[in-house]
Structure formats: structure tokens, C-alpha cells
Amino acid sequence: MQQQYLINIDYSINSGQVFLWEKNGDIWYGINGADVLAVKENPFQINSFSQNSIDFFREKDELREIIQSITKDKVVRNAVKQFPGLRLLRQDPFQCYISFIVSSNSNIQRIKQILQRLCKKFGKKIIFEKKEFFVFPEPKKLANASKNDLLNCGLGYRTKSVKKASLAVSSGQIDFDLLKKISYQNAKKILLDVYGIGNKVADCILLFSLEKLESFPIDRWILRVLEKNYADKFRLTGKSLTEKKYDEMHEQIIDHFGPYAGYSQQFLFKMERDLNQKSWL
């Protein structure tokens, strides 16, 4: 019964958490901050340019306990069964932060395109396993970028958000190490002060890069899952998700799914998008 706690790289990469990944043969290559990762399965193996081990695939998570904890109903049970080995990923915080600011009102293909352009224009070029990569730019670099250069990356109206958010980091207003240490609620409050970050984006950053596993990003896909399967359980009044409603819903979600709710979100999200045959990377 250990089998189901192995890691499935395809599921994990293709679940909307990351954008700067490419598959080459049976090896996935991905940008993670200033680092480049190379990953393959059977057996699972990960190499990195930096040689630092950051447990990107959260191999040390107690999946057995987590899965048991989130399996509170048959919907999650099905999703977990359908995607064995799907993992949350531990991302570089700054890259994650910018990625999800860029994701607003956009789609995966375009998000990827924009982020690739940012890397190419502002990131350092490195050679890893005989291949050329452009890593993710440093906060300072994006904070100092000209409006025009950013626009040329395809950011559109998100240019202002990216610039301000980068400045917030380079100036020290946003300190990811600190955010990791404090509570979910407090860290979220701080993130929400940044222009361009709302509830959903904040929750993505907290879940995917700041160790807040109780975070449960609610986007239109998850909303669909909840409406379809949990209409009786969670209050879903009205059309739009106002800030207050988002908070209320999160509270009900934690009550139901527990402290690892973020993992349940990832399974449900993956399931719903696959069901609708939406494309990934």
C-alpha cells in the first residue's frame, strides 16, 4: 500500500501550481527562482543546478496522514484515487508571488508565455545539463524595470502590479522568511496589502511557497467543484465572491477538510480541469 504515496511528476507539474516547466523526453526541467531543476520518475530522481536540496516535491510530507486527514467525503476520495502521487510543490516564494499576480484574469498558456519573457529579459542565463536556461529575475531587477520593457513581456495592465509587488519585496516590506514563520491569517493580511494581490492570489502564494497548508485558493474552477458537490455544505449565495464571503467560505472549508485543506484543493482542482479537458503545460 506504499505505492500510492510515490510521486507522480506529471500530475504534480500539470496541476496549475507551476508554469515554467518543460518536458524533454522523460525528464522535466523547471525554473525555480535562481535555480533549475531536472526531475524524472522510476526511480524518482531530482537534480538541481544549485545542488541545494529544498525538497521541492515535499517528499517528507506525511502523505499517509495527510490523505487520511483530507478524505472526508467521496468527492475527495475519488480525486485522490484518480491522481495518486499528486503533490503540492514547495516553490521559490518570489517566483510564485509574481506568477500568481500575473495569473489574474488570464490562462495557463499565456501566464507561461509572459513568465518566460520576463526570465529571458531580466533573468540570468545559465547552462545546466548542457542546456541553456533563463532563471527567474531577482526582485530588484523587476522593481527597476522600465514600464515599457514590462509591457513588451505581455503583462498589459498587470505591469503596475508586478512593479509594485517587486518593489515591496526589494524594499523589505514583504519578507518571505518572516511570512513563513507567522500564522496563515497574519501572513495573508500582509500579502493582501500588496497591489495586485487579492484573496485567491494570496492563498496560492501561501499554499505553494509559504508552508501554509490550510490555505485553500478559491478560483472559478474550485467554485464549480464546490457548487456541484458541496452546495449543501458550503454557503454559496450570490454570484460573486466578495471578500467577506471568501473568508466565510474558507472557514467552512477548514472545518470540513481540516488543516491540510490545501492538499484537498489541489486534488479537486486537478480533477475538475481534467474533467473539462483543459490543457496544461
Residues with active-site annotation: 200
Rounded to a whole number of angstroms, the minimum distance from the CB of residue 205 to DNA is 9
Q: Which range touches DNA (CB under 7 A), out of 44-52, 68-76, 83-91, 238-246?
A: 238-246
DSSP 110-179: HHHHHHHHHHHHHSPEEEETTEEEE-PPPHHHHHT--HHHHHHTT-GGGHHHHHHHHHHHHTTSS-HHHH
Beta carbon nearer to DNA, 49 or 215: 215
Residue 32 cell numbers, joined: 525555480
Q: Rounded to an integer, what distance in angstroms lies between the CA atom of residue 85 and that of residue 162?
A: 33
The reply on whether position 202 binds DNA by CB under 7 A is: yes
Q: Are strands 45-48 and 125-128 parallel, antiparallel or unpaired?
A: unpaired
Q: Which amino acid is at 167?
A: L
Q: With contact defined as beta carbons under 8 Å apart, do 208 and 89 qualify?
A: yes
Q: Which range touches DNA (CB under 7 A), out of 50-58, 137-145, 174-182, 239-247?
A: 239-247
| Residues in region 107-126 near DNA by CB under 7 A | 107-110, 113
The reply on whether position 30 binds DNA by CB under 7 A is: no
Q: E strand or H helix at 86, and its extent? A: none
Phi-psi region of 196 (alpha: psi -120 to 50; beta: other; left: phi over 0): left
Q: Evaluate the CA torsion angle 143, 15, 179, 255 in order and state its sign.
A: positive
Q: Which amino acid is at 203?
A: D
Rounded to a whole number of angstroms, the minimum distance from the CB of residue 249 to DNA is 12
The reply on whether position 212 binds DNA by CB under 7 A is: no
The reply on whether position 104 binds DNA by CB under 7 A is: yes
The reply on whether position 94 binds DNA by CB under 7 A is: no
Rounded to a whole number of angstroms, the minimum distance from the CB of residue 18 to DNA is 8
* CA angle (105 as vertex; 204, 124 as ends), nearest 5: 65
Of 54, 151, 182, 190, which lies in the binding site for DNA, with binding defined by CB under 7 A? 151
Beta carbon nearer to DNA, 49 or 217: 217
Beta carbon nearer to DNA, 49 or 79: 79
Integer CA distances (angstroms), 156 to 40, 117, 159, 163, 170, in order: 36, 13, 6, 12, 22
Rounded to a whole number of angstroms, the minimum distance from the CB of residue 40 to DNA is 22
Number of residues that bind DNA (CB under 7 A): 40
Rounded to a whole number of angstroms, the minimum distance from the CB of residue 99 to DNA is 10
Q: Which range touches DNA (CB under 7 A), out of 3-11, 44-52, 218-226, 253-261?
A: 218-226
Beta carbon nearer to DNA, 30 or 154: 154
Rounded to a whole number of angstroms, the minimum distance from the CB of residue 110 to DNA is 5
Residue reference for cell 467577506: 244
The reply on whether position 236 binds DNA by CB under 7 A is: no
Ramachandran angles phi, psi of 42, nearest 5°: 50, 70
Residues making contact with DNA (CB under 7 A): 15-17, 103-110, 113, 151, 154-158, 194-202, 204, 217, 219-221, 238-240, 242, 244-245, 269, 278
